[in-house]
Each structure stands twice: as structure tokens, then as C-alpha cells.
Structure 1
Amino acid sequence: MHVEAHDLVKTYPPGVRALDGLSITIEPGEVFGLLGPNGAGKSTTVKILTTLARADSGTASVAGHDLARHPDRVRRAIGVVAQNSGADPLATARDNLLLQGRLYGVRGRDLRTRVGELLDRFDLAGAADRPVKGFSGGMRRRLDVALGLVHRPVVLFLDEPTNGLDPEARSAMWAEISRLAGSEGLTILLTTHYLEEADRLTDRLAIVDEGKVLVTGTADALKGSLRGDAVHVELSGDLDEALVRQAIGAVVRDVTVDGRVLSARADDGAAAVPGVLAALDRAGSPAAAVTVARPSLDDVYLRHVGRRFAEGVAR
């Protein structure tokens, strides 16, 4: 395993349990995603695995090095792209990369060659000698990833690498992450708030909440574990949740209610819709809109966390 963590516990004053027995394993060359709401423990996990914080209990190793016994070896084997940019805004992109390389002991021609490669690869060569403070958000994020790669790590940690990027920049970053995993064989741990990102990029993912792993698997396997179709109904007014559940319970299963949005599962979603609408009318909670879809990661998230992903990440 390139990353192993067993029963990690971390508590912050005044008694906030950030991790509560979290365990994950990541194979060499795998892109592994951590998915969950704010406060779920994703960033704390990354901080511990990158030696920026210590667990209260539990064990972990990265790239074959025990975190507690050999933190220096771990630091030399990993690259880290944090949520906030680590680049010096007053320095140029080239100077940021040169400094990062020197901090890791890369020198001379090897360093200059590596910096040139990264500037070309991340489409920064034309802006290499401009101060970073004038860069767009997408350019800064590409530089952040380049900084994490200067010393050729074997494990790369990406903590919400596309947060705040526009769709075009996000798509470009997805392509680069896929290339890093594919052609270079990097092991990547990715935390994200974007379901599409997790679905597209990860080989496996874990849904985390309240410091625990709720479920782990491939995106396809997790979606496939939800039999049938997802039926989502937006109600036109307030509802009596108990009455609504009772009314549609004979038509669909796995009913969850989130505000005025009702979600359920059915073997044949399209065939179930007329019965659902009729039952809601009888219960005095008519529908404003209804959709039927194959299972998505949002449905998986809702099943295990009990609230919609968009709501969970807003907390």
C-alpha cells in the first residue's frame, strides 16, 4: 500500500472530535477520493498524512514510511497542494519553482530542467517571469500543482484542487490530474466537494462524515449498490413528513425528505411516478416537479449521510 491509515483519532479543543477512528488504504498508482461535507474530517486526514498534524491515536504510513517514526522520509516522498495557494505572490512562477526545488535538495541543471518541464506542462512558460500576484485563479492553481511536483514525489495530496475555478479551468485541471495518474503512475489522494470530479477522476472513493468512513468503493460500484431508479420530487408547499411517507410507502422505497425535496427509489422509476403523484395529492402535498434518473453519487451520498451533498458542503 502507498497510503495506510488505521483508526485515526484527532480531537481539537474544546473537545471537537475531527477524526473518530478513520481508516483508509490506497494502492500504488491509485487516485483515491475523500468526499464529504465541511467538517467531515477530510482536511484533518490530509494534515495528518502530510505530517502537518499528529493524530491522538491510530497508525499511518505513506510511501512505506511510518508517520510517527519517519516523518522526514514521508515529507520527501510526497507532494502537497493545499486549499490555499502556497506560492509567493510577489515572486515569479519560475522563482517559486526554483525555491521549492532547492528546499527539497534539487540543484543545478537538474532543477532548471525540471522547472522548464513544469512550466511547459502547465502552460505557464509564457508567464514564467511575471509576478504570481497578476495570475488568474486557474494559473495560480496550475502553479500550485507544479510546485507539488518539482521534487518528483511518489504520492501527491490534492486538497480540493479545483475549488473556485471556472468550468474551463476545472476541466483542464481534471485532464492534468488524469495524466498524472495515468502516464506517471503517481498515487493521488484527492479531497473534493464536486461529485462530478470524484466520479470522473477517482479509482476508488470514500464518503466521510463526522470523522468516520461511511462507505468505500468505486463510483460505479457504489452507484450500482442502489437498485433501480432514483425518483426526486419537489413539493409545491409545506408537508406533513409522516403523512407523506405513509402515503408513498407502498409505491417506492428508501424515502428521504430534505426540506421540500423528496427522494426515493423504485425498480422502475417511470412506472412509479403516477402512483407517487396520486399519493402525494391524496396526502395534500402536490408535486411541483418530478425527475427520474439512474443512481448518481448524489444518491449514494444521500443514502449514507442522510442529507443532500449541496447542503452538506454548505455547513
Structure 2
Amino acid sequence: MTTTTAPDLPRIERSTEDALVLSGVRRSYPITTKLNWLTGRREATASFEAVRGIDLRVARGELFALLGTNGAGKTSTVELIEGLARPSGGTIEVLGHDPFAERKQVRHHTGVVLQQSGFPPTLTVREMAQIWQGTLTRSLAVDETLAAVDLADKLEVETAKLSGGERRRLDIALAVLGNPELLVLDEPTTGLDPESRRHIWSLIQGLVQRGSTVLLTTHYLEEAENLADRIAIMHDGLIAREGTLADIVAEAPARISFLRPECLALADLYLPDTTITLTDRMVIETRTLQDTLARVLAWAGTTPLPQLEARSASLEQVFLSIADTEEL
């Protein structure tokens, strides 16, 4: 597979306005209903609130990653942004418009890559793109767009014969064919092998370089770490953390761990302002990684420390700590 550089597509002029603004957004789902005999409609008598009042801003030209623990409300939030439903409370603006009430004004300026999609199996890659082009108000050239996602040599190949990575690149090509200002990429690399995933990363980075705004949802924390300008983590219907990667991990401690040799006495190890957990491994949490590691190595001297690891705070560490919290 070749290495993909920034897609050779027209640049999008960036505005100083935010591409996406959520203010106090809520979304509820009815749990039980009853029939209103006067209106003939069923009305909710009890509901579950999946999104409990969130605020988000995504600047134009920004790549924003939205992560979520299980049942966090991330999918419900993305559906509201896509205009598939009206929020139960609060307001949403996509490129200055309500994505539900003003869907016609928004739809032509946004592109969406869903978690799963399907293509008619006997259509070629070019035919699929041409059919999709026919649904667009404005569009880029088909062959040039397909070439930009490295599908120039697959134009006459039936979609059923594409690999998983090639199908995902076709998804992205269709999403950018309308030259959108905002791209919503919902789990764009799920199920792909590492090489294909890296290939998609290059495509996404190229789209941002040309001026697109990207809202990315992903289960791969490494993906958010490598691609996102800013990150938000949802938990229990709320935004638990938001900011740059550095902002999010700033309050989390670094970790040093190793199998403790029995010949070394813990009483001889002085580690101020740390938290030590001792099981089969010795795990040290610290906010001064270099100083603490130097003390550990001085304590060990020439005695090997089996499976020694020293890691700065990570997005995974913060994410798991949020997932393990029952109440924020």
C-alpha cells in the first residue's frame, strides 16, 4: 500500500466562527408511554436522559475527537449533530444553523462517514461515486476525489471486491465529494488492520490541512492522541473532560512499575509525594517522573529490576479512571 499524503482537493476557506456549538444539549428517550385519547398519540410517562446538558465548541479547521465510556451518550450526541433528531433541551448550531430545523441549509455543507455502510456489490468504484454525485447540490470531480483517497487504480473494480481499508476510503471519498465544510467521521477505522488504519489517519490529516473541520468519534484512544487538536470524554451523559491532550492528562500521575527483587529493602527507598501499590508488581504513581525514577534506579544500583516500565500519564489512564467512576 502506498503512503498517502494530503488529498489533492480544493482548499476550504476558514471562517472565524465556530463550526459546531452545543449549549445545554439534552436528549431523552421514552421508557413508558400511554395513549392520549384526545390527540390519538402516545405520550411519554417516564423517560431516560442519555445526554444530560452538555456544552461543546468546535472551531473551524479543527479536528475534535469525541470519546465516550459505555453508555455515555456519545452516539445520541452525534445523531443530534447530524440532524437526525431534535434535542430534548438546549441548542445546536452546525455552521450557524440548526441541523434539525434547517436541515436543508446544513446538509449540503456536511459530510458523514457512518460506523457501517453498504454499497451495491456489482457497482464499480467509479459508478458508486457517480451515483452519489448525482445526489449532491455541488460536488468535486469524481476521478480526482477517488485519486485523492488512493483509489485511482480501483475505479473499475466492483465494490464487493474491495478490501476493508479500500471500502473505508471509498466511504471517505463519498463524504468529501460534496466538498463539505464539516466532516463527521463516526468510528472510521473500526475493524481495519493497523496498516489500513494508518492510511486512513493520513487521509484525515490531509482533509484538515485543506481546511475541513472534522468531528471524530473513535474507540481507539491512540487515534485520538495522534490526530485530535482537542478531545472531549463523555461519561454518564456529561462531558467529563475536555481540552488538548496535555490538558486532559495534566492532572493524572505518571507510573513506574517493576517486579521487586527480594534482595532490595523497601525501607531504603525514599519516594516523597508518591503513591505505592505492592502486589506481584511494585507500582509507583508520581507527578515528578524523572526525579522519582532517578531515586528508584539509585536504590536498585546494579540489581536488575525485572519488567521495569516508566510511563507518563496517558489518555488511556484518564479514560479508564473515568470509566471506573460510578458518579462524577
How far the C-alpha of 1:82 sits from its partner, in A, is: 0.5
Structure 2 residue 293 is the aligned partner of structure 1 residue 270? yes
How far the C-alpha of 1:251 sits from its partner, in A, is: 6.2
- d(CA) in 1 for partners of 2:118, 2:187: 14
- d(CA) in 2 for partners of 1:211, 1:17: 8
Give the number of the structure whose alpha-carbon radius of gyration is greater. 2
How far the C-alpha of 1:131 sits from its partner, in A, is: 1.7
- d(CA) in 1 for partners of 2:164, 2:259: 36
1:295 to 313, 321, 328: 313
1:174 to 188, 192, 201: 201
- d(CA) in 2 for partners of 1:256, 1:304: 20
What is the identity, as a one-letter code, of the residue corresponding to 2:320? L
DSSP-derived class of the 1:164 partner: coil
- d(CA) in 1 for partners of 2:259, 2:223: 26
What is the identity, as a one-letter code, of the residue corresponding to 1:124? L
Partner of 1:59: 91
Residue deviations 1:253-275 (CA, integer Å, cap 9, x gap): 4x899xx997833434426769x
CA contact (8 A) 1:251 1:272 kept: no
1:44 to 53, 76, 87: 76
Structure 2 residue 62 is the aligned partner of structure 1 residue 30? yes
Partner of 1:217: 243
Partner of 1:278: none
Distance change (3 Å), C-alpha of 1:17 and 1:165: same
Distance change (3 Å), C-alpha of 1:96 and 1:262: farther
DSSP-derived class of the 1:181 partner: helix
Distance change (3 Å), C-alpha of 1:193 and 1:19: same
CA contact (8 A) 2:85 2:100 kept: no
**Structure with greater helix share of residues:** 1
DSSP-derived class of the 2:196 partner: helix
Residue deviations 1:184-216 (CA, integer Å, cap 9, x gap): 100100001111110111111101111111111
Please tell me the root mean square deviation across aligned C-alpha atoms, in Å.
3.1
CA contact (8 A) 1:50 1:74 kept: no
Partner of 1:19: 51
Partner of 1:142: 169
- d(CA) in 1 for partners of 2:234, 2:284: 21
- d(CA) in 1 for partners of 2:176, 2:92: 23
> Alignment identity in percent?
36
Structure 2 residue 234 is the aligned partner of structure 1 residue 208? yes
How far the C-alpha of 1:301 sits from its partner, in A, is: 1.9
Residue deviations 1:13-65 (CA, integer Å, cap 9, x gap): 42443211122110010000011223222222111111122221110010111
DSSP-derived class of the 2:108 partner: helix
- d(CA) in 2 for partners of 1:8, 1:48: 9
What is the identity, as a one-letter code, of the residue corresponding to 1:195? L
- d(CA) in 1 for partners of 2:19, 2:170: 25
Distance change (3 Å), C-alpha of 1:292 and 1:122: same
Which segment drifts farther, 173-182 or 13-22?
Answer: 13-22
CA contact (8 A) 1:37 1:193 kept: no
Partner of 2:8: none
1:91 to 123, 126, 149: 123
TM-score by length of 2: 0.75
- d(CA) in 1 for partners of 2:27, 2:68: 17
- d(CA) in 1 for partners of 2:282, 2:214: 35
- d(CA) in 2 for partners of 1:95, 1:205: 37
Partner of 1:70: 102
Structure 2 unaligned spans of 5+: 1-17, 32-46, 261-270, 298-304
Paired residues, number: 276
- d(CA) in 1 for partners of 2:51, 2:295: 41
Which segment drifts farther, 73-82 or 86-95?
Answer: 86-95
Detail structure 1 runs of 4+ shifted over 4 Å in the superposition. 232-235, 260-263, 271-274, 287-290
Partner of 2:274: 252
- d(CA) in 2 for partners of 1:272, 1:191: 41
